[in-house]
């Protein structure tokens, strides 16, 4: 099982402010501040930002993305809206999607460094 993830960012302060707003709807808070890294999580840092000032923007065709679990569809919507309001880009608007084994509700964003992050939830059938 995955314990934590790390993203490289050019401007740590700007990225930390961006992710503070984007991760809040998912229940993740800023827990650790270091000179070259910031950690977000619920009880311990699960999502790290690492300063890499010389980083080139991430190419859109890498195929790499990170997916985070949201508690409900409103949190997915808020994640996406916060990303767009904070300078991120839409990479897939909130809505239902078909996965390999089930349907889910998710949204994709690209952060200011080009990292692709998704938030999803599995709504209860009505």
**Taking the mean position of all CA atoms in its chain, how far away is CA 112?**
12
Other beta carbons within 10 angstroms of residue 111's beta carbon come to 23
Q: Given this model, what pLDDT does residue 57 score?
A: 84
Question: What pTM value is reported for the model?
Answer: 0.94
Q: For residue 103, is it within any domain?
A: yes
Other beta carbons within 10 angstroms of residue 117's beta carbon come to 23
Q: What is the pLDDT of residues 39-80, one digit of tens each?
A: 999 999 999 999 999 998 888 888 889 999 999 999 999 999
Say how many domains are in the chain. Answer: 1
Q: For residue 94, is it within any domain?
A: yes
Task: Indicate the average pLDDT of the chain.
Answer: 95
CATH number at residue 28: 3.10.180.10
**CA distances to 31, 34, 67 from 110, in Å:** 23, 24, 12
Q: For residue 58, is it within any domain?
A: no
pLDDT tier for residue 124 given thresholds of 50, 70 and 90:
confident
Q: For residue 23, is it within any domain?
A: yes
DSSP string, 83-116: HHHTT-EEEEEEEEEE-SSSEEEEEEEE-TT--E
Q: For residue 60, is it within any domain?
A: no
Strand partners, 9: 51
Q: Which domain covers residue 37, as residue numbers?
A: 5-52+65-121
The rounded distance, in Å, linking the Cα atoms of 55 and 8 is 8
Q: For residue 59, is it within any domain?
A: no
- pLDDT of residue 126 exceeding 70, the answer is no
């Amino acid at each position: 099982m995955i314990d934590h993830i790390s993203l490289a960012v050019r401007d740590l302060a700007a990225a930390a402010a961006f992710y503070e707003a984007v991760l809040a709807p998912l229940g993740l808070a800023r827990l650790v501040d270091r000179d070259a890294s910031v950690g977000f999580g619920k009880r311990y840092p699960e999502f790290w930002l690492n300063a890499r000032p010389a980083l080139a923007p991430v190419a859109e065709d890498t195929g790499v993305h990170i997916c985070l679990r949201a508690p409900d569809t409103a949190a997915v919507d808020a994640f996406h809206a916060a990303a767009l309001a904070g300078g991120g880009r839409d990479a897939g608007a909130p809505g239902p999607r078909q996965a390999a084994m089930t349907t889910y509700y998710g949204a994709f964003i690209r952060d200011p460094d080009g990292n692709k992050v998704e938030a999803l939830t599995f709504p209860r059938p009505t």
